[in-house]
Structure 1
Amino acid sequence: MTEHSVYIQHGLWARLGLPRELSWGFIGIFLFITGATIEQSWLAAMLQHRGFDAFHISLLSSVFGLCVAVVSWFSGIGAGVLGLRRLMWAATVVYFVGSIPFIGYALPQGNYPLMVASYALRGVAYPLFAYSFLVWITQRCEPRILGRAVSWFWIAFGVGMTIVGPWYSGVMLPAIGETVTLLSGFVFVVLGAFCALVLNRDRPEVAQGGSMGAALSEGIRVLVREPKMRLAVIVKTINDIGKFSLVILMPVYLPHFGFSIAQWLTIWGLVNVVNIFANYFFGWLGDTIGWRNTVVWFSGTLCGLAMLAVCYAPVLFGNSETALFCALALYAIGLGAFGPLSALIPSLLPDNKGAAISCLNLGSGLSNFVGPLIVTLCVAPFGIEGTLWTIAILYFAASVLTLPLKLPDSR
């Protein structure tokens, strides 16, 4: 990254971490993610009702997540070779290439192999689009506001995936059915691409060119030679495993205590409103007391406790929406405390930010794979309670693993 590629941000919005030059991009991320992940909170329940067992449902999600992980890693590396805008346009096209056979044939026919293949291709789209824009943010924002800027990215991302998507689905599923609800996601995706790539006039000054093979090799070498990068990938992977596990576990677990799918979707959407405020608060706190300190003290600790609370709230309080909301809200707060990782990890390698961002994105993508994989591996032998305990232990470990990720200036 060259000096002239960084904006000198002034004004109220810049101080809040939302420079006006990128504002349409944030809106585009929100809309694109809403459409591209519209099914994630209810697909498991739909497949269960259509006769698929927990293993096949979680396997579908695991393959989807593996593709997300690979493409997430590629988005950081590919930006320097192909360019950010080109990657985001490609993501928009790939979304339709995967979605049309998935919605139009595989789901109606119950063709499981085609479901896995087309859903995996659909899954390539949103990380390629979103994480390319995350590279854009890290290239264009000054370090003094970077923690807040990336918190806005995760707010836009989370509002689309975990608030508007579930709420919109909760309203539309009874009215228009599953297929038309999925198809309506196309509108969000088109609008998102239009905002991020047409209305957003900014041109990121990321050096382009060179060999894709050389860029990919450098991304692999960074993981081999930099122990901090390996730790960073592990911590970032643990970051979202609960989110991608809960959307599979809760629609199966909660009905045993009298909760409906509509109740689950409503509560899940509400607690993610809490996450909006937590994301920004911890972004500000990270810029104030240090990105690493914020993650160490608050992220894994709160998320681990929340997993245990989610496990036992229905056992202790039955069909209590308040108790379930409080448990999930604690998780949403802890999830927000992971936000400064998106500023911390690229700053660990200031001379090779592209490779560092690829590691950050790899961890983000691996959450999509590891979360469902934990469900696949743990539900049969340990049950849902044991699976939630496993996730809790991993979260506690994440706080400890963050300790060595210290920058020279102790941010």
Structure 2
Amino acid sequence: MMMGMPVSLFWGYIAIALFMIGDGLELNFLSKYIVTLGFAEKKVSLIFAAYGLTAAISSWLSGVLAETFGAKKIMMVGAITWIVFHAAFMLFGVIPHNYYMMLLFYGLRGFAYPLFFYAFFYWVVKETPDSQLASAVGWIWSMFTIGFGILGNLLPIYSVRYFGEINTLWQSIGWATAGGAIAFFLLKAPVIEKKNHQIHSFEHKFKGIIQDLSLVFYNRDLAIALITRAICNFSLFGILAVVMPIFYTSEHGGHFTDEQWKIISLSIYPIQPFTNVLWGIIGDRIGWLKQMRWAGFIGCGTATILLYFIPVWFPGNIWASICGILFFALTITAFVPMGAIFPMLTPEHKGAAVSIQNLGGGLSNFGGPALVSLILFTGLGHFSVFIIFGFLYYCAAIMTYFIRLKQPGVDKPF
């Protein structure tokens, strides 16, 4: 271990960063760009909701698939699938301005990234001592943030300006391919793992997958943790990705230009590689649930509501909005220990526990945009979106009191 990172998996962390650049390259302009093609905001949010739904399904399967067939194989399936469906999204959806093809292929692309990312997530959980698990998971989210957040947002600022949205979206394939290549050539699966995956038939493996995935229906703590896991990234995928690019550049919002919005959205990410690791280390010491309850859910709920009021109170003030989004970044990274909690709730079924945790992440992908769509379709405006999301975070904080957990190294149940 090197500062909580499993050294043997170093190249996997690098692969995650590169792959997630490709997956995040569109984050701060795609929703606004599709609107400029002539489609209503509520229809655009449905595209992101479809993506989130397939990501949720794939996330649920990824952990047990990695446990059953090997993490490296599942990562490769994810990389190839991502490249194929992104190309189809561009060729049949974006370029000809075909809404239904965008909905179809962007939705199908949602199956891909969880297979790559969460298979590696399982691999890290399997190779890391329990007492250092939050720290190792913190490193995963730091690499995710460097790729999906920092570089995925920084590169389009220049790329869109000089090459346009279409060429910027095509660049994603190069980054995803680079991440997949590093994982394929430089990550070595343990010899024992390779042998184990040759023992049982596919039918036996499939039965094991179904049995493991059903754990959430019999374990109360897992079920509550799943709900809180879904809520923790609602604002990231619903508000930051769908609502804010439109609201912050509107006359009713921040009055910012597209370039100013990109700078604001980028500012969320530079501190996250550090806060992800820091919150992982802190959580290992003070308690995972305690940290997530107060710094995570209470903090992020407050930050979400402030993201609406700051540009209203200080229209056109880029520094005020940057301060608001930095507070959001600090609080949302406090959820890092979530990835350590699930395996501890059912240590004899770590693959299934990681899959359920991953399902929660996928439900964030789906639930955030879907809830935005529901709120907008009912005629409520942006104000209601931010308030409702903030309220959900406060509800999740209360729910953490009902999760029974004994954390390694912190000798008391929560």
Cα distance, 1:406 vs. partner? 2.9
Cα distance in 2, alignment partners of residues 280 and 220 from structure 1: 29
Tell me if the contact between 1:147 and 1:342 (Cα under 8 Å) persists in the aligned partners: yes
Range 266-275 or range 20-29, more displaced: 266-275
Cα distance in 1, alignment partners of residues 205 and 376 from structure 2: 40
Task: Give the TM-score, by structure 2 length.
Answer: 0.93
The letter for the 1-side match of 2:405 is L
1:274 partnered with 2:277: no
Matching residue of 1:20:
7
Cα distance in 1, alignment partners of residues 371 and 232 from structure 2: 14
The letter for the 2-side match of 1:383 is G
Cα distance in 1, alignment partners of residues 41 and 320 from structure 2: 26
Tell me if the contact between 1:70 and 1:365 (Cα under 8 Å) persists in the aligned partners: yes
Cα distance, 1:272 vs. partner? 1.4
The percentage of counterpart residues that share the same residue type is: 30
Cα distance, 1:205 vs. partner? 4.8
Cα distance, 1:79 vs. partner? 1.5
Matching residue of 2:208:
215
Cα distance, 1:404 vs. partner? 2.3
Matching residue of 1:395:
393
1:334 partnered with 2:336: no
**Residues 174 and 298 of structure 1, relative CA distance in 2, 3 Å threshold:** same
Tell me if the contact between 1:313 and 1:323 (Cα under 8 Å) persists in the aligned partners: yes
The letter for the 2-side match of 1:239 is C
Matching residue of 1:4:
none
Cα distance, 1:341 vs. partner? 0.7
Cα distance, 1:173 vs. partner? 0.5
Matching residue of 1:254:
248
> Structure 2 stretches of 5 or more lacking a match?
none
CA displacement 1:304-345 (0-9 Å, x = unmatched):
110111110011111111111111111111111100011111
CA displacement 1:346-365 (0-9 Å, x = unmatched):
11101111111111000011
Cα distance, 1:197 vs. partner? 2.6
Q: What is the aligned-residue RMSD (CA, Å)?
A: 1.5
Matching residue of 2:380:
382
Q: Secondary structure at the match of 1:41?
A: coil
The letter for the 2-side match of 1:235 is T
Cα distance in 2, alignment partners of residues 221 and 326 from structure 1: 43
The letter for the 2-side match of 1:317 is F
Cα distance, 1:215 vs. partner? 2.8
Cα distance in 2, alignment partners of residues 269 and 17 from structure 1: 27
Matching residue of 2:342:
345
Cα distance in 1, alignment partners of residues 176 and 109 from structure 2: 12
Tell me if the contact between 1:290 and 1:410 (Cα under 8 Å) persists in the aligned partners: no
CA displacement 1:55-111 (0-9 Å, x = unmatched):
110111101100000000000111122211111111111112201121122111111
CA displacement 1:170-209 (0-9 Å, x = unmatched):
1101111112111111111111112223112343755534
Cα distance in 2, alignment partners of residues 69 and 58 from structure 1: 16
The letter for the 2-side match of 1:154 is W
Cα distance in 2, alignment partners of residues 154 and 382 from structure 1: 34
Q: Secondary structure at the match of 2:10?
A: helix
Cα distance in 1, alignment partners of residues 269 and 29 from structure 2: 16
Matching residue of 2:367:
370
CA displacement 1:223-280 (0-9 Å, x = unmatched):
1101111111111101111011122111111122321122122121122112222211
Aligned residue pair count: 398
1:306 partnered with 2:303: yes
The letter for the 1-side match of 2:247 is Y
Matching residue of 1:122:
109
Cα distance in 2, alignment partners of residues 137 and 204 from structure 1: 16
Cα distance in 1, alignment partners of residues 233 and 287 from structure 2: 21
Cα distance, 1:113 vs. partner? 1.6
CA displacement 1:25-72 (0-9 Å, x = unmatched):
000000001112311221100001111101110111101100000000
Tell me if the contact between 1:163 and 1:268 (Cα under 8 Å) persists in the aligned partners: no
The letter for the 1-side match of 2:47 is L
The letter for the 2-side match of 1:162 is G
Structure 1 residues 83-94: aligned runs within 5 Å:
83-94=70-81
Cα distance in 2, alignment partners of residues 270 and 360 from structure 1: 28
Cα distance in 2, alignment partners of residues 213 and 198 from structure 1: 28
Structure 1 residues 26-65: aligned runs within 5 Å:
26-65=13-52
Range 202-211 or range 157-166, more displaced: 202-211
Structure 1 stretches of at least 4 aligned residues deviating more than 6 Å after TM superposition: none
1:238 partnered with 2:231: yes
